[in-house]
Amino acid sequence: MKSLVIVGRLIAFIAFPIGLLFLLFKSFIGLVLITASIVVWNICGHYLDKEQYLEKHNTKMMEEQQKE
């Protein structure tokens, strides 16, 4: 799942400047591309943050169990 998130961020990273270029010619298409890339970027970032938090939490829990 993590690789899918990375691919999503890569697509959003590429789509944003393309949206800026389209914004010069056809404003609606450019606006849609920019908005979609920002939404995808934020969703993927939220998932990565959540995954990192869970990994840290699981590591702490395992350390506490090993101490007992």
pLDDT of residue 33: 87
Considering only CA atoms, which of 42, 50, 49 is closest in space to residue 8?
42
Q: Which of the 8 DSSP states describes residue 26?
A: -
Look at residue 65 and give its three-state secondary structure.
Answer: helix
The pLDDT tens digits for 47-62 are 888 887 888 888 888 8
Q: Which residues contact 62 (CB under 8 A, 6 or more apart)?
A: none
How confident is the model over 14-25, as a mean pLDDT? 88
